[in-house]
């Protein structure tokens, strides 16, 4: 564990070590890491108490990923993973970034600190203000803070000059109140982390099958014959999914990893809670790994589908599910024609995968309908992200792998409530149904015009069209593309406000004035006038359940997110509001009654969420009802995207290490990739290193090229790694200055942070 230092300008030290990745992931190393992080943060006693309540029916939802918990009856006493424990340890930290801390460190000094250092300073415990022209953050009362925001918003020409960001940890209750406030104020400027994440999945699936969410339930994994894991690293980012995958592998299910990197946990995994497994060498997880080139998934999937057609001829019409296609889909003839016209060599060249491997996968898929396709950021963060996901949908449609047990689409969500936030109306492009329902319930007319997403907000700030940014959690600076441009945009604002648990770089690169509003974390007790409260969240598979913290809050001055939103709304809207804000937050059941009245499928919310394990939202696709215009699922045709690399260039993908949660850095190790003590590394193929006359360990600068613009990050260390030629990888957020603001997926506008065209140069000086 990196030690805390008192100096903000002491960036990560140069003790980088590179070793071969472990042969088996999980095991006792996971337990050792868990204990180290818990001891360091909350301490063992307090930490253990909280961890035993994590993901339990009467406890709180892990603030980590959105992977579902098993049904209430099947849950074990330990339903957390190593990285969930790190998230808890970080949140339940004993250290405090209090008024004395801010008095010691001027903002100019904090602005050079990195994310690791800022997070290590501990929990925010009182509201702080950076006045215009001020050098230090200083304490302010909640009332004065809200009054300041109200003043700044009323000084705008229109409410559309403010933007309201949400990060996906926000509860359903806070999210519902927040969108209600923003719409009553008169704008749909609700950018959220989903814009940077699974927006592409939502958009692509809505077009293809009519619903923008996944179609599988957890028990489908017990019945699948093939599970595809495409562009996802569950061993690090969804470790509880490994329990599911391990069980599937053991009963003979074929797991196929489609990933430029041979991620350790997808190779062999030993469950940390069963020490003997590690001794026995763990379980082999993926029976097939296709090391696709970065950005090569469309080519690969088309190759597999082309091979499936050949397989069908061999199997006399039994490899393609014609009955399903006839009954439930449209567009198959055009799709088939386009596929036939696709030359094999292009598919092989652009994917980096041999035709024989594509045929092998096709043969596997031809034998069963019980196919689940899981994916995450490896597919969603490309210019051609919609095509990536719709090719996955095409493949499942060809096999009739929807609406059956053990089959379906599974976009694996990131933040623990990002899916719920969207369900609650955090959406810059709200549909008329939501707006009508809000109007019916609250008696004001919400604005119909679409608002700004993340990229749109940054562009609007650059142009001076957005002057106030309010962020309910998250890290608007380091999570966004094009870090330098985003920093510039933030500095141009009149006011930036963050509701947060701990410091990050978005808090120290500020508008003319800035506010920090400290909130309760998931693990903490939430006491309101009406007594102790719980909140609710929705997991990646549409299950909605309660979450109630168990720890004493980090400070007396903290407020819950719903209470902060209500206080803000009251101050900004005052008498003109149709909503009884302070009455609502006295008892969150009142908020849930409003949700039940406005959001579809939440009837009787308060009663249903109190049953153990909560309830599952319906998904019509599971019953083979496709809410598209035609009532059918759609085959779609996409060209193979051009790789667009000039000689010497590489396609860089940005990935998470095992020691981070998005922009939150827990430590400098990435155990499963053999990296210790540093994050400024670039993973390259040995041949690509040699061809450039570089060597492992050498310092290099990475230069990104886009439409004649260049962006550079300096002094990264070369690491030789089994990654396909022409591809490279570096960590998010260190590589974010390279992501061009203007390069995103049309349709979802998700930045192409997994296909950045770069050149690698030896560092000078």
Ligand X SMILES: Nc1nc2c(c(=O)[nH]1)N[C@H]1C(S)=C(S)[C@@H](COP(=O)(O)OP(=O)(O)OC[C@H]3O[C@@H](n4cnc5c(=O)[nH]c(N)nc54)[C@H](O)[C@@H]3O)O[C@H]1N2
The answer to whether 65 contacts Mo ion (rule: CB under 5 A) is: no
CB nearer to ligand X: give 352 or 451. 352
The answer to whether 197 contacts Mo ion (rule: CB under 5 A) is: yes
Q: 248 — phi, psi (to 5°)? A: -65, -45
CB nearer to ligand X: give 62 or 633. 62
- Distance of closest approach, residue 199 Cβ to Mo ion, in angstroms: 10
Torsion of CA 486, 489, 490, 495, to 10 degrees: -160
> What residues are paired with 258 via a beta bridge?
230, 290
**Three-state helix/strand/coil letters over 358-416:** HHHHHHHHHCCCCEEEEECHHHHCCCCHHHHHHHHHHHHHHCCCCCCCCCEEEECCCEC
297 binds, among ligand X, Mo ion, none (CB under 5 to 8 A by kind): ligand X
The binding track of 143-182 with respect to Mo ion, each residue x by CB under 5 A or -, is ----------------------------------------
685 binds, among Mo ion, ligand X, none (CB under 5 to 8 A by kind): none
- Distance of closest approach, residue 444 Cβ to ligand X, in angstroms: 26
Contact residues for ligand X (CB under 6 A)?
A: 64-65, 83, 167-169, 193, 196-197, 230-233, 236-238, 258-261, 263, 292, 294-295, 297, 376-378, 381, 414-415, 472-475, 479, 499-502, 504, 519, 521-522, 561, 653-656, 660-664, 732, 735-736, 739, 753-754
Write out the two tokens for 20: 């071969």
The answer to whether 733 contacts Mo ion (rule: CB under 5 A) is: no
- Distance of closest approach, residue 124 Cβ to Mo ion, in angstroms: 23
Torsion of CA 584, 514, 182, 570, to 10 degrees: 40
- Distance of closest approach, residue 257 Cβ to ligand X, in angstroms: 9
Diameter of the chain by CA atoms?
77
259 binds, among ligand X, Mo ion, none (CB under 5 to 8 A by kind): ligand X
DSSP 227-275: EEEES--HHHH-HHHHHHHHHHHHTT-EEEEE-SS--HHHHEEE-TT-H
Q: Estimate to the nearest angstrom the gap between the alpha carbon of 323 and the chain centroid.
A: 37
167 binds, among ligand X, Mo ion, none (CB under 5 to 8 A by kind): ligand X
- Number of other residues whose CB lies within 10 A of the CB of residue 692: 18
Residues recorded for the chain: 765
- Distance of closest approach, residue 380 Cβ to Mo ion, in angstroms: 9
Query: What residues numbered 564-583 form the site for Mo ion, per CB under 5 A?
Result: none
CB nearer to ligand X: give 86 or 692. 86
- Distance of closest approach, residue 174 Cβ to ligand X, in angstroms: 8
- Distance of closest approach, residue 627 Cβ to ligand X, in angstroms: 26
- Distance of closest approach, residue 665 Cβ to Mo ion, in angstroms: 16
Closest to 509 in 3D by CA, of 540, 483, 546: 483
Radius of gyration of the chain (CA): 25
* Percent helix, percent strand, percent coil in the chain, to nearest 5: 40, 20, 45
CB nearer to ligand X: give 166 or 215. 166
CB nearer to ligand X: give 178 or 605. 178
CB nearer to Mo ion: give 152 or 197. 197
Q: Estimate to the nearest angstrom the gap between the alpha carbon of 70 and the chain centroid.
A: 21
- Distance of closest approach, residue 644 Cβ to ligand X, in angstroms: 14
64 binds, among Mo ion, ligand X, none (CB under 5 to 8 A by kind): ligand X
- Burial of 445-466, coded b for 16+ CB within 10 Å and e otherwise, reads ebbeeebbbbbbbbbbbeeebb
The answer to whether 414 contacts Mo ion (rule: CB under 5 A) is: yes
172 binds, among ligand X, Mo ion, none (CB under 5 to 8 A by kind): none
Q: Are 358 and 307 in contact (CB under 8 A)?
A: yes
Q: Are strands 371-375 and 329-330 parallel, antiparallel or unpaired?
A: unpaired
486 binds, among ligand X, Mo ion, none (CB under 5 to 8 A by kind): none
């Amino acid at each position: 564990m990196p030690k805390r230092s008192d100096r903000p300008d002491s960036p990560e030290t140069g003790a980088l070590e590179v070793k071969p990745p472990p042969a088996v992931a999980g095991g006792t190393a996971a337990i050792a890491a868990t204990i180290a992080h818990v001891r360091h943060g909350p301490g063992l006693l307090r930490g253990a108490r909280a961890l035993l309540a994590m993901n339990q029916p009467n406890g709180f939802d892990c603030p980590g990923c959105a992977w579902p918990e098993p049904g209430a009856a099947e849950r074990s006493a330990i339903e957390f993973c190593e990285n969930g424990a790190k998230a808890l340890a970080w949140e339940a930290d004993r250290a405090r970034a209090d008024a004395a801390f801010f008095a010691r460190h001027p903002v100019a000094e904090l602005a050079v600190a990195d994310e690791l250092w800022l997070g290590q300073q501990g929990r925010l415990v009182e509201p702080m203000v950076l006045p215009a022209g001020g050098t230090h953050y200083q304490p302010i009362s909640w009332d004065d803070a809200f009054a300041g925001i109200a003043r700044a918003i009323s000084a705008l020409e229109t409410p559309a000059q403010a933007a309201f960001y949400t990060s996906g940890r926000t509860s359903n209750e806070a999210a519902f109140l927040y969108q209600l406030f923003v719409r009553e104020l008169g704008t749909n400027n609700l950018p959220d982390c989903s814009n940077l994440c699974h927006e592409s999945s939502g958009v692509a699936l809505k077009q293809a099958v009519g619903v923008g969410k996944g179609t599988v339930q957890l028990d489908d994994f017990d019945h699948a014959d093939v599970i595809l894991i495409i562009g996802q690293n569950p061993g690090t980012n969804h470790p509880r999914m490994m329990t599911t995958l391990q069980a599937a592998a053991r009963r003979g299910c074929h797991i196929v990893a489609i990933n430029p990197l041979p991620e350790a946990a997808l190779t062999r995994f030993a469950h940390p809670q069963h020490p003997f497994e590690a001794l026995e060498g763990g379980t082999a997880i993926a029976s097939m790994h296709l090391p696709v080139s970065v950005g090569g998934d469309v080519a690969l999937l088309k190759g597999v589908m082309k091979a499936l057609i050949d397989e069908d001829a061999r199997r006399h019409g039994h490899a393609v599910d014609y009955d399903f296609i006839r009954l439930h889909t449209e567009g198959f003839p055009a799709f088939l024609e386009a596929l036939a016209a696709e030359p094999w060599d292009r598919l092989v060249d652009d994917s980096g995968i041999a035709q024989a491997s594509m045929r092998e996968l096709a043969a596997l898929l031809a034998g069963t309908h019980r196919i689940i396709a899981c994916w995450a950021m490896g597919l969603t963060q490309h210019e051609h992200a919609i095509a990536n996901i719709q090719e996955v949908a095409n493949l499942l449609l060809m096999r009739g792998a929807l609406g059956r047990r053990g089959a379906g689409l599974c976009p694996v969500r990131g933040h623990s409530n990002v899916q719920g936030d969207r369900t609650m109306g955090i959406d810059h492009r709200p549909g008329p149904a939501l707006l009508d329902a809000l109007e019916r319930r609250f008696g004001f007319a919400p604005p119909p015009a679409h608002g700004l997403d993340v990229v749109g907000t940054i562009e609007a700030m650059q142009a001076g069209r957005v002057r106030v940014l309010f962020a309910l959690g998250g890290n608007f600076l380091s999570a966004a593309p094009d870090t330098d441009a985003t920093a510039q945009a933030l500095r141009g604002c009149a006011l930036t406000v963050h509701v947060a648990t701990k410091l990050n770089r978005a808090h120290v690169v500020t508008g003319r004035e800035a506010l920090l509003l400290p909130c309760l974390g998931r693990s903490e007790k939430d006491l309101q006038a009406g007594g102790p409260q719980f909140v609710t969240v929705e997991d990646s598979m549409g299950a909605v359940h309660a979450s109630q913290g168990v720890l004493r809050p980090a400070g007396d001055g903290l407020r819950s997110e719903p209470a902060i939103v209500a206080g803000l709304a009251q101050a900004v809207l005052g008498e003109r509001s149709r909503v009884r804000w302070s009455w609502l937050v006295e008892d969150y059941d009142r908020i849930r009654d409003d949700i039940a009245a406005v959001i579809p499928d939440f009837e009787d919310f308060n009663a249903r969420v109190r049953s153990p394990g909560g309830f599952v939202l319906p998904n019509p696709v599971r019953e083979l009802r496709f809410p598209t215009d035609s009532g059918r699922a759609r085959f779609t045709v996409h060209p193979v995207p051009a790789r667009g690399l000039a000689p010497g260039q590489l396609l860089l993908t940005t990935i998470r290490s095992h020691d981070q949660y998005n922009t939150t850095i827990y430590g400098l190790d990435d155990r499963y990739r053999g990296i210790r003590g540093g994050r400024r590394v670039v993973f390259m193929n040995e041949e690509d290193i040699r061809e450039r006359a570089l060597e492992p360990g050498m310092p290099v600068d990475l230069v990104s090229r886009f439409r004649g613009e260049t962006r550079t990050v300096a002094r990264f260390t070369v690491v030789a790694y089994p990654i396909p030629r022409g591809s490279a990888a570096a960590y998010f957020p260190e590589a974010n200055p390279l992501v061009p603001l203007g390069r995103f997926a049309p349709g979802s506008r998700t930045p192409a942070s997994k296909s950045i065209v770069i050149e690698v140069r030896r560092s000078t000086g």
